[in-house]
Amino acid sequence: MITGLTAAELAAKLKSKEVSAVEAAEAHLDRIDEVDADYGAFLTTCRDQALADAEAAQKLLDAGEDKPLTGVPFALKDNICTEGIETTCASKILEGWKPPYNASVVENLKSQGMVLLGKTNLDEFAMGASTETSAYKTTRCPWDPDCSPGGSSGGSAVAASAEMAPIAYGSDTGGSVRQPAALCGVVGFKPTYGRISRYGLVAFSSSLDQIGPLTRSVEDTALAFQAAAGHCRLDSTSLPDAAYNPGDLKSGSLKGLKVAVPQELMGDDISEGVRESVEIALDRLKREGAIITSVSLPSLPLGVTTYYIIAPAEASSNLGRFDGIRFGPRIEKGDHNESTAATRGQLFGHEVKLRIMVGTYALSAGYYDAYYKRAQQVRGLMADEMSKVMREHDVVISPTSPVASFRLGEFAKDQMALKTLDLCTIPANMGGFPSISLPCGNAGDMPVGMLLTGPIMGDERLLSTAYAAEQAMGFSGRRPPIL
Ligand code: GLN
């Protein structure tokens, strides 16, 4: 079946003409039509445009002008702007908004001849860890439809896991690519901050946001990263040497690999099932020659509280632009101020309003030093501690999420508990480090992810290490039993 192929396998079949780009697009679109009513991964699909793009890709393939992923379909989180295609951020405040331009990452993927299938569901404005704050629909984990796929890039994780797209892009501010990848049993990668352009990614917390791919193998992650990465003059935080070449992806070895395991991320905050599964996986790496050392990074437990000052502070400023005038619907009521208040009051969801209020408070005169400035200082401390340990070790490993997938609604009454699930993923965002989640085992019937984090611009090494770890562990590409 075409939809069961990895991106690398599909690309090979496209090049050998065993499969045409139109067949590849149709197979995935049909699969979405067939199964997505059960999973709710997509907010929008773009069949006509996808088939037209696939025909154009086929011409490139026929002319031999193909790039690595020409003709390969992909899905995109609905907070990444697509020209003429609705981009809602899963919020009512952007209902019906069709951006007049493509995000730079979309331009990069299209220039490779990749084919956009549709836009995936997320927590509203990417604020959440279960995809349940979406204003539009519930997304379900393919491993158990009563469970959450994680979030905020839950739709992208499900698209990859349930074989609706070989590659789905998400955004990661505090873990939103890696955590849903872990909960859905796929690979999720947040590159070094600045390697994939943020131009056209609707900003949540600009100093933390980074786009990254979710796929079913590390090889596909490398290909998807290559297609997306590159310097962008429209993003002032884009790195000059952002481009990536997977050249020696498969040359990585675990022999002599120095692994640091922060004890703060293996303690009581981690559920037993997850901890056991990560320990077994670490043993596996050790048998292949890795040298595993337990280290202490005392600032890491401060990550969640620090993050929940910095991210809302930046969000409160970034979301100021949604006034109902320039984007999306407007509720008219009395004068301008009343209309703006009604629009924001009625069309933003609860979680988004909560963050705007927390962020505005943390930035206000008199509180700025106590909250925002302090949080930035702790952020610096976390980045320093991580950098220091990475000078002495090749990679930092921990669980990706303290828990495996949980039942939908489980955190309805305890939103703080849901926020603590970002414990292990936040440090990479704080320091801009590249970080990848790999399927490493199970807790009960549900997949568990292992998180590997490397130094800034160490993406090449991190991915080749992840490739070697994936081969040793053998959990990538397992299909949810339901498929
Ligand atoms: N769960 C975190 C939050 O709710 C992270 C979200 C993200 O990475 N976009 O903010």
For the CA of 175, the nearest atom of ligand 1: 8
Tell whether 151 is covered by a domain: yes
Amino acid identity at 254: L
Average pLDDT score, the chain:
97
State the pTM of this model: 0.98
Cis peptide before 176 (omega within 30 of 0): no
Distance CA(275)–CA(403), nearest Å, equals 9
Tell me the sheet residues that pair with 452: 397, 436
For the chain, count helices (H), then strands (E).
Answer: 15, 11
Give the separation between CA 21 and CA 42, rounded to whole angstroms. Answer: 21
The predicted-structure confidence for 325-356, as pLDDT tens digits, reads as follows 999 999 999 999 999 999 999 999 999 999 99
Whose C-alpha lies nearest to ligand 1, atom 10?
127
Question: Which helix (DSSP H) or strand (DSSP E) does residue 44 occupy?
Answer: strand 42-45
Predicted confidence at residue 271, as pLDDT, reads 98
Give tens-digit pLDDT for 230-282: 999 999 999 999 999 998 899 999 999 999 999 999 999 999 999 999 999 99
Q: Rounded CA gap, 389 and 428, in Å?
A: 13
Q: Is residue 273 part of a domain?
A: no
Per the domain annotation, does 406 fall within a domain? no
Rounded Cα gap, residues 219 and 445, in angstroms: 25
Q: What pLDDT, on a 0 to 100 scale, did the predictor assign at position 273?
A: 98
The string of pLDDT tens digits covering residues 98-146 is: 999 999 999 999 999 999 999 999 999 999 999 999 999 999 999 999 9
Residue 153 Cα: closest atom of ligand 1: 9
Number of domains, the chain: 1
Check pLDDT > 90 for residue 97: yes
Find the mean pLDDT for residues 346-373: 95
Instruction: List, for residues 415-456, the tens digit of each pLDDT value.
Output: 899 999 999 999 999 999 999 999 999 999 999 999 999 999
User: How far is it, in rounded angstroms, from Cα 175 to Cα 179?
Assistant: 6
Among 120, 121, 118, 96, which Cα is nearest to 49's? 118
Answer yes or no: is the C-beta of 311 below 6 A from any ligand 1 atom. yes
Ligand 1 within 6 A of 127 CB?
yes
Q: What is the CATH number of the domain that holds 201?
A: 3.90.1300.10
Catalytic residue check, 152: yes
Classify residue 100: in a domain, yes or no: yes
Other CB atoms closer than 10 Å to residue 199's CB: what's the count?
Answer: 19
pLDDT digits (tens, 9 = 90+) for 158-217: 999 999 999 999 999 999 999 999 999 999 999 999 999 999 999 999 999 999 999 999
Active-site choice (104, 134, 148, 152): 152
Q: pLDDT at position 259, please?
A: 98
> Is residue 116 in a domain?
yes
Residue type, 153: S
The answer to the question of residue 290 being in a domain is no
Residue 9 domain boundaries: 2-255+457-473
Helix (H, G, I), strand (E, B) or coil at 448: strand
Look at residue 481 in the predicted model and tell me its pLDDT.
85
Annotated catalytic, 205? no
CB 176 within 8 A of CB 149: no
Query: Over 80: is that where the pLDDT of 389 sits?
Result: yes
**What are the angstrom distances between the C-alpha of 63 and each of 55, 59, 70?**
12, 6, 12
Q: Return the H-helix or E-strand segment holding 276.
A: helix 272-287
Looking at the domain assignment, is residue 345 inside a domain? no
SS3 state of residue 170 = strand
pLDDT of res. 27: 98
- Positive/negative CA dihedral, 159, 161, 166, 169: positive
Mean pLDDT of 284-289: 98
**Model confidence at 364: pLDDT above 80:** yes
pLDDT at 227: 98
Q: Is residue 274 part of a domain?
A: no
**For residue 311, how far is its CA from the centre of ligand 1 (angstroms)?**
8
Residues 221/463, Cβ–Cβ less than 8 Å: yes
Token pair listed for 326: 């320039």
Residue 414 tokens, joined? 């305890």
Is residue 46 a contact partner of residue 12, using CB atoms and an 8 Å limit?
A: no
The residue count for the chain: 483
Model confidence at 483: pLDDT above 90:
no
Q: Reply yes or no on whether the pLDDT at 94 is more than 80.
A: yes
How far is C-alpha 227 from the geometric centre of its chain's CA atoms? 16
Count of C-beta atoms within a 10 Å radius of residue 130: 29
Q: Which of 148, 176, 238, 316 is catalytic?
A: 176
Q: How many CB atoms lie within 10 A of CB 204?
A: 26
Q: How many CB atoms sit inside 10 A of residue 151's CB?
A: 31
